Amino acid sequence: MLSKRIIACLDVRDGKLAKSVRFVDTKDIGDPVSKAKEYYDDGLDELVFYDITASSEERNIMLDVVSRVAEKVFIPLSVGGGIRTVDDANRLLWAGAEKINVNSAAVKRPELIAECAHSIGTQNTVLSMDILKVEMSPEFPSGYEIVINGGRTPMGIDALEWALKGEDLGAGELVVNSIDADGTREGYEIKLTRMIAEAVSIPVIASGGAGKPEHLYEVLTEGKADAALIASMVHFGEYTVSGLKKWLHDKGLKVRLRY
Amino acid sequence: MVHIVDYDAGNVRSVQRACQHVGIDAQITADPEALLKSDKVIFPGVGSAESAVDTLKTRGLDEALKDFYRSGRPLLGICLGLQIILEYTEEGSRDCLGLMEGACERFDFTDGSIKVPHIGWNEVEMVQSHPLLKDVRSGDEFYFVHSYFANLKESSSIYGVTEYGEKQFASIIASDNLFATQFHLEKSGELGLRLLAEFADWQGGSC
């Protein structure tokens, strides 16, 4: 039986972990490679790096980070942030990434999804969606809208419609990131996650709002997600990957425990 | 020399890195001559079998792989590498290498809630013992990414099976000098690496 996946997300700026990520063990501050290795050793199922580097000139630093992580961490490695072309995707893959997350650039130019799927494979093409709750209307029948720029720019696209279009264009997985829930630590957007997970036939990764183990359980059962993305829960040392997995296992969820 | 077959099917570098990590000095090659001179060959792959099979043929790697296999030297297939060693794949209706009798079929579930591709960590039940599997226990989990699965003619070649939805499929197959996994052992953590390390010492044979 397939296990539910626990995926940790690390935000990287100029090759260092972003300030939002703080650590208990001070010697680890700023180094994404040692943090990735630590989670890997603790039984993480998959890793996502989100490059939040502001200028495109600095993006080569990310390639170096990815390649150093790939030498030590032997689980799927996904990279997102600033990917605009198939060339960007291929460079990251060659550096050692397994999957590529496209987001804003795909909203502006949906063909990017098809181009990536064709070049690097559907299973390596992940569509990451930032979603905001809106009034249900003929324009937004699902009651959710696609936004970009970290939630600041509404795009006038219905979230469910976009998810289905992304699948159609060749995305192999979807990340459903709720901007409303993000950073609240009050739980994932269950209704949104479930709506999309039931509508598409590709795996859905829930993102935004994780604060307690119960939240993971909720989104992986009621929310019908195939995987749960976590960040601050483990970055701040409050929980560990292995502790969370043990907790989920004890609640009867199928997770990978032996590694 | 260990060679990793490069036929534009994705993850050769990931496989090479995993090899490096367990002390295997493996070179990536797209040259049929180099392949034939190898002591061992790793045949990895992700993505579409259709374009993969076409690229193998264009580069003359299909015949080289068949000759290499017939020479009795150890061959390791990973994911697409497991699928292409069979006779045929439904994906793009392509004839494959035919090193083993069987064909690849697409997952087709009556229950629409079961996602395809099959992505994630899943259990492997061991059905026969094998020298490469001495550290692997039934129920150990490995990382899978695929939409097609191997349907073998002879169940005697099946060493591990995995369940997905209502389907049970062969996730590890082997013959005398061939060992192949549907899962990505290069992305399956320490358990996958251990399997790869065993391949370094393997000279063929299933006991």
Residue type, B4: I
- Is the Cβ–Cβ distance between A187 and A233 less than 8 Å? no
Q: Cβ–Cβ contacts within 10 Å for residue B100, how many?
A: 22
Q: How far is A124 from chain B (nearest CA, A)?
A: 8
Position A259 in a domain: no
Q: How far is A153 from chain B (nearest CA, A)?
A: 32
3-state secondary structure of A243: helix
Mutate to test the interface with A, among B145, B149, B188, B194 (most CBs of A within 10 A): B145
Position A170 in a domain: yes
pLDDT at B22 over 90: yes
The better pLDDT of the pair B109, A74 is held by A74
The region of weakest confidence among A114-118, A163-167, A226-230 is: A114-118
pLDDT at B46 over 70: yes
Verify whether the Cβ–Cβ distance B10 to A96 is below 8 Å.
Answer: no
Of the candidates A210, A204, A203, A167, which has an alpha carbon nearest to the alpha carbon of residue A185? A210
CA A13, A17, A18: angle at the middle one, nearest 5?
60
Tokens 């690229």 sit on residue:
B55
Position A81 in a domain: yes
Q: Which residue of A has its CA nearest to B112?
A: A201
Catalytic residue among B19, B79, B96, B104: B79
Verify whether the Cβ–Cβ distance A124 to B190 is below 8 Å.
Answer: no
| Percent residues over pLDDT 90 in chain A | 77
pLDDT at position B49 is 86
What domains sit in chain B, N to C, each tagged with a CATH number?
2-201 (3.40.50.880)
Catalytic residue among A45, A51, A130, A158: A130
User: Could you give the CA distance from residue B83 to residue B96 in angstroms, rounded to a whole number?
Assistant: 8
Average pLDDT of chain B is 94
The whole-number average pLDDT for the span A26-51 is: 86
pLDDT at B106 over 50: yes
- Residue B182 C-alpha from the chain's centroid: 5
Chain A residues with beta carbon closer than 8 angstroms to that of B123 = 1
A130 tagged catalytic: yes
Q: Which DSSP category does B187 fall into?
A: G
Chain B touched by A3 (CB under 8 Å): yes
Q: How far is A7 from chain B (nearest CA, A)?
A: 11
Domains in chain A: how many in total?
A: 1
Is the backbone of residue B80 left (phi > 0), alpha (psi -120 to 50) or beta? alpha
pTM: 0.94
Confidence of residue A54 (pLDDT cuts 50, 70, 90): low
pLDDT at A168 over 60: yes
Q: Which DSSP category does A74 fall into?
A: -
Confidence of residue A25 (pLDDT cuts 50, 70, 90): very low
Chain A residues with beta carbon closer than 8 angstroms to that of B163 = 1
Position A230 in a domain: yes
User: Could you give the CA distance from residue A11 to residue A50 in angstroms, rounded to a whole number?
Assistant: 5
pLDDT at A26 over 60: no
pLDDT at position B128 is 95
pLDDT at B17 over 70: yes
User: Could you give the CA distance from residue A32 to residue A87 in angstroms, rounded to a whole number?
Assistant: 24
- Is the Cβ–Cβ distance between A111 and A117 less than 8 Å? no
pLDDT tens digits for A245-257?
999 999 999 999 9
User: Could you give the CA distance from residue A48 to residue A10 in angstroms, rounded to a whole number?
Assistant: 6
pLDDT at position B110 is 83
Q: Domain residues for A84?
A: 5-250
Position A39 in a domain: yes
CATH code of A92's domain: 3.20.20.70
Chain A residues with beta carbon closer than 8 angstroms to that of B47 = 120-124
Q: What is the full DSSP assignment across B34-55?
A: HHHT-SEEEE---S-HHHHHHH
Verify whether the Cβ–Cβ distance A45 to B120 is below 8 Å.
Answer: yes
pLDDT at A164 over 60: yes
The whole-number average pLDDT for the span A93-119 is: 94
pLDDT at A22 over 50: no
Position A206 in a domain: yes
- Is the Cβ–Cβ distance between A140 and A158 less than 8 Å? yes
Mutate to test the interface with A, among B91, B119, B171, B185 (most CBs of A within 10 A): B119
Position A255 in a domain: no
Confidence of residue A210 (pLDDT cuts 50, 70, 90): very high
- Is the Cβ–Cβ distance between B20 and B51 less than 8 Å? no
